[in-house]
């Protein structure tokens, strides 16, 4: 029996000719990632277990993004601990105030992850890098500690679900709508500990930003990882970024899949996930009675340049509705700077938005946009669990940048195609 893309990557990194679903393996790692919340726990475990060196100072990334600039004394202490560790072991890829970004936007942008690589990160949305044809998955801080010291990690090889994409996205529809549609279809446990593999002629319709968004939310379907077939779009993206040899892995024709779905991209509508699960999806047009208190455009899911462009084009020459707070967060400093050059920041500010330095803050209810009792948010983030962005009675609707921007302008959830 043949192997899937994920299985081929894991076999190569375990030094095996082949692997099969359910097999336990130890694989070599190409990158170990941590942030300012998870790294301190991993650092404590690193020292607790007697480690005194890292396996490769160039293959560890520490990104200060959740509470940076620091929101309080505890956040400051956590970042100091990471800063001290990075200095002690000469960690090459340490990113802090001034050069940081939201980790899952920053690493692809910097070329720190690439096709065919094996990546772990102490953050559940590490699955983002599957957009580049890599195997990447979130782990606990203890596994991160072991990974930093040994360059290895244990995995149970996942089985897979194949999503064959056909057709082409319509205007005002993006990868966020596609992945919300899929999660609504299979449920938040529909891919539990399985690989979500995306292929088909429809890939040509998806930009790299669309793919990064979709792979990012594979975890919201319970997946071990999401991964896209490498094509010319992928190769063009990594060409000037990834400056080391990499291997492209394709699934065998006789690879075994638990399930297969055909997704017609031309049939996808602007989609919103209603409280309190990403699977609770409806068409944006069905939710016109929902009046938000706050709109957030940003995050590791939708804070990239194309997301900023989509929101700015909708807001150009308009003003957000009275009573709505709109927070815009470019995902990296590079994206922020490009938004300034293109005039997007002026557009956002003139429309009545506040623009923040890159941070995960509001997405996890940390800071920069906490919700009060019974408040409603429309956000381009990835989770809408109870209390995720603030008070336990608040409500979160997940949407694309297009839907979020249109909603901010109209003052109620809006299909961007209906915006007059």
Q: What is the DSSP string of 16-79?
A: -S---TT-EEEEE-SEEEEETTTHHHHHHHHHHTT--S-S-TTSEEEE--SSTTT-SHHHHHHH
pLDDT tens string 195-225: 999 999 999 999 999 999 999 999 999 999 9
Across residues 27-35, what is the average pLDDT? 98
Domain tally, the chain: 2
Same domain for 244 and 290, yes or no, is no
CA dihedral sign, ordered 221, 222, 223, 226: positive
Q: What is the pLDDT of the chain when averaged over all its residues?
A: 96
Q: What is the pLDDT of residue 27?
A: 98
Number of H helices, E strands in the chain: 13, 18
420 pLDDT band, cuts 50/70/90, is low
Lowest mean pLDDT among 120-129, 266-275, 362-371: 362-371
8 Å CB contact between 209 and 305: yes
Whether 293 contacts 407, CB under 8 Å = no
Above 70 in pLDDT, residue 193? yes
292 falls within a domain = yes
Shared domain for 121 and 207, answered yes or no, is yes
420 assigned to some structural domain: no
Q: Which residues constitute the domain of residue 339?
A: 271-415
* CATH number of the domain encompassing residue 233: 3.30.499.10
User: Same domain, yes or no, for 225 and 300?
Assistant: no
Please state, in angstroms and rounded to a whole number, the distance separating the CA atoms of residues 275 and 281: 9
153 and 143 Cβ atoms separated by less than 8 Å: yes
Mark whether 245 and 136 lie in a shared domain: yes
Q: Are residues 232 and 290 in the same domain?
A: no
Query: What is the model's pTM?
Result: 0.95
Measured N-to-C along each axis, helices 305-315 and 333-342 cross at an angle, to the nearest 10 degrees, of 30
Looking at the fold, whether 102 and 170 belong to one and the same domain comes out as yes
| 170 and 246, same domain (yes or no) | yes
What is the enclosing helix (H) or strand (E) of 345? Answer: helix 344-350
Domain end: 265, 298, 318, which one? 265
User: By percentage, how much of the chain surpasses pLDDT 70?
Assistant: 100
Q: Which pLDDT score is estimated for 1?
A: 76
% the chain with pLDDT above 90:
99
pLDDT for the residue numbered 238: 97
**Does residue 92 share a domain with residue 77?**
yes
Q: Does residue 325 sit within a domain?
A: yes
Pairing of strands 31-35, 152-156: unpaired
Q: In a 3-state reduction of DSSP, which class is residue 259?
A: strand
Residue pLDDT, tens place only, 280-289: 999 999 999 9
Where among 265, 300, 318 does a domain terminate? 265
How far, in Å, are 271, 284, 339, 370 from residue 362 at the CA level? 21, 22, 20, 6
Of 265, 289, 316, which marks where a domain is finished? 265
In terms of domains, do 261 and 275 share one?
A: no
Pair (246, 336) in one structural domain: no
Domain assignment present for residue 119? The answer is: yes
| Residue 50 confidence (pLDDT) above 90 | yes
At 299, list the tokens.
């995050």
Residue 387: CB atoms within 10 Å: 13
Spell out the residues 6+ positions from residue 377 whose beta carbon is closer than 8 angstroms to its own.
292, 293, 294, 295, 296, 369, 371, 389, 394, 395, 396, 397
What pLDDT, on the 0 to 100 scale, is given for residue 419?
85
Q: pLDDT per residue over 239-263, tens digit each?
A: 999 999 999 999 999 999 999 999 9
Tell me the mean pLDDT in the region 213-238: 97
Same domain, 242 and 319: no
pLDDT of residue 289: 95
Answer yes or no: do 210 and 328 share one domain: no
Q: Does residue 199 fall inside a structural domain?
A: yes
């Amino acid at each position: 029996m043949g192997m899937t893309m994920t299985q081929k990557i894991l076999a190569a990194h375990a030094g095996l000719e082949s692997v099969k679903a359910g097999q336990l393996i130890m694989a070599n790692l190409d990158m170990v990632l941590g942030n300012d919340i998870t790294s301190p726990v991993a650092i404590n475990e690193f020292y607790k277990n007697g480690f005194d060196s890292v396996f490769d100072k160039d293959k560890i990334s520490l990104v200060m993004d959740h509470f940076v600039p620091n929101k309080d004394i505890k956040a400051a202490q956590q970042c100091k601990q990471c800063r001290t560790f990075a200095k002690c072991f000469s960690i090459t890829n340490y990113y802090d105030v001034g050069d940081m970004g939201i980790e899952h936007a920053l690493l692809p942008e910097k070329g720190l992850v690439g096709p065919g690589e094996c990546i772990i990160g102490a953050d559940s949305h590490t699955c983002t890098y599957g957009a580049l044809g890599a195997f990447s998955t979130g782990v606990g801080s203890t596994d991160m500690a072991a990974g930093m010291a040994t360059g290895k990690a244990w995995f149970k090889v996942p089985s897979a679900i194949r999503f064959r994409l056909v057709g082409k996205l319509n205007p005002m529809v993006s990868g966020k709508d596609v992945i919300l549609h899929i999660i609504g279809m299979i449920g938040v446990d529909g891919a539990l500990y399985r690989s979500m593999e995306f292929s088909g002629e429809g890939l040509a319709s998806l930009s790299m930003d669309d793919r990064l968004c979709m792979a990012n939310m594979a975890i919201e379907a319970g997946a071990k990882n999401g991964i896209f077939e490498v094509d010319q779009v992928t190769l063009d993206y990594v060409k000037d970024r990834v400056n080391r040899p990499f291997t492209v892995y394709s699934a065998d024709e006789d690879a075994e899949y638990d399930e297969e779905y055909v997704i017609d991209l031309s049939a996808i509508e602007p989609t919103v996930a209603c409280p309190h699960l990403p699977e609770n999806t409806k068409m944006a047009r069905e939710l016109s009675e929902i009046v938000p208190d706050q709109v957030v455009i940003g995050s590791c899911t939708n804070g990239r340049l194309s997301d900023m462009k989509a929101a700015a084009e909708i807001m150009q020459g308009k003003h957000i509705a009275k009573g709505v707070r709109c927070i815009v967060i470019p995902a990296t400093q590079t994206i922020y700077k490009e938004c300034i050059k293109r005039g997007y920041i002026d557009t956002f500010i003139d429309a009545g938005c506040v623009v923040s330095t890159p941070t995960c803050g509001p997405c996890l209810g940390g800071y920069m946009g906490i919700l009060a009792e019974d408040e409603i948010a429309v956000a381009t983030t990835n989770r809408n669990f109870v209390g995720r962005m603030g008070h336990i009675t608040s409500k979160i609707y997940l949407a694309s940048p297009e839907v979020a921007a249109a909603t901010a302008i109209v003052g109620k959830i809006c299909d961007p195609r209906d915006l007059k």
